[in-house]
Amino acid sequence: MIYLLFLVALLLISCNQDQAKDNSKDEIIEYFIPLSHRVEKDVDEVFEEHWYVPLETRDDALIDVLYKIKNIALFQEDIYIGSDNILIVYDKSGKIKRVLSKKGEDPQSYPFLNNFMIWPNGDITIASTQSMITYSTSFEFINNRHYENIAYIEAITLFNDNSYIIKCAPAERQLRYRIINHKNGTYISTYDSIEKQNKYISSFTNSFERFEGLIISHGYQGNEILECTMDSTKVRYRINIDNKIPPAGFWAQDGKNDMQIVMEETEKGYIGHIPDYVESKETILLSFKGKRDDLEGVALIDKKDGNARVLENIKFDDNFRWLPKQFFSLDEGWCAMLMYPEDVLKKEEFARRFPGLNEESNPVLFIGKLR
């Protein structure tokens, strides 16, 4: 009898220990993505719904090369695309509605268009070098707020109806995140101080993803997906690409200059950048980059079982096989991809969907919602 009671006690202790481990809130979820096997997925396996929008071509509204696309957003039924230093608004069929082109040095212009966001009333705030310039939905100037102590602004998004959050470049003595009151331009909160500057700072676009009330941060020189709150960041996931994560402090290590760090990144085959990220209830779609072609790609993660695969291609309609080099979060599991004519025209059957498309046309915009 004593022996049986002892066994029962052991079982209860064991069950309680397992339950505590399962319910631990401090353990960071790490997704491992192997590079050894790449797969092709049908578009309907990745997206629960999707459509294509051929974007109208006009001399004053040309979509630039992919690396100059700053952001893509949807507002109501309109499509907003920041291309180099212009902002183009299309209707849902791809017809141009208006173009914002106010690059300049006067107070009502912006020196550069780094990123943009849209307010609930349709106003647009442009993030420039050290300034936030806001225009009405019809592109009438509203205000220009300049901040001397802000480095390069990498990303901007709505925090709530009255404030926005910006992400600054990881420069020394900078605060990585700032939440700003839209009405008066004052700081509501600042956090994540940069103690040691990265020896080289990527100029590529970083961005935010909004999902189920969360603001998610990701980008270059970081394998962690972060949740941004009012006063801090919290690690949501760690992305481990084939055990090629750079060691902690790699980008700001002492005794090496920027070129030495780039060379080390190349020689050791590190994968330390997550440029694009979209999350739904069941799935994560992300891109990753190293310094060689074989160290970059697009991965799909099943959140239910953690199964992750690098994509060889996505098979779109009419057997059009293609993999985006970059994609853009539209929030809540939605994403956008620009299909340039040189790719679309390679598949005649697929290209017939877009009458009049030629080599000089603006891209076709793919919009899809992750499963």
226 has which bridge partners? 217, 235
The answer to whether residue 245 is domain-embedded is yes
CB 274 within 8 A of CB 239: yes
Residue 312 main-chain phi, psi, to 5 deg: -80, -45
- Give the pLDDT mean for 271-280: 95
Q: What percent of the chain has pLDDT over 70?
A: 91
The answer to whether residue 222 is domain-embedded is yes
233: confidence class by pLDDT, cuts 50, 70, 90:
very high
pTM for the structure as a whole: 0.89
3-state secondary structure 176-192: EEEEEECCCCCEEEEEE
The answer to whether residue 13 is domain-embedded is no
Q: What is the pLDDT of residue 193?
A: 84
Query: What is the rounded (10 degree) CA torsion for 84, 87, 170, 164?
Result: 180
Let me know if 301 is exposed, middle or buried by CB neighbors in 10 A (0-12, 13-18, 19+). buried
Half-sphere exposure for 86 (CA within 13 Å, toward CB): 14
Domain region containing 187: 27-370
Q: What is the pLDDT of residue 56?
A: 98
**At 19, is the secondary structure helix, strand, or coil?**
helix
Q: What is the pLDDT of residue 239?
A: 97
Residue 200: name the closest of 275, 256, 270 by CA: 256
Residue 4: which H helix or E strand, with range?
helix 2-22
The answer to whether residue 16 is domain-embedded is no
**Tell me: the pLDDT tens digits for 135-159?**
999 999 999 999 888 878 889 999 9
Mean pLDDT of the chain: 89
**Number of domains present in the structure of the chain:** 1
Report how far residue 104's alpha carbon sits from residue 8's, in angstroms, rounded to the nearest whole number. Answer: 77
CATH of the domain at 39: 2.120.10.30
Q: What percent of the chain has pLDDT over 90?
A: 76
The answer to whether residue 19 is domain-embedded is no
The answer to whether residue 277 is domain-embedded is yes
The answer to whether residue 6 is domain-embedded is no
The answer to whether residue 81 is domain-embedded is yes
**Tell me: the pLDDT tens digits for 218-231?**
988 889 999 999 99
Asked whether the predicted pLDDT for residue 86 surpasses 70, the reply is yes
Asked whether the predicted pLDDT for residue 130 surpasses 90, the reply is no
3: confidence class by pLDDT, cuts 50, 70, 90:
very low
Q: What is the pLDDT of residue 196?
A: 73
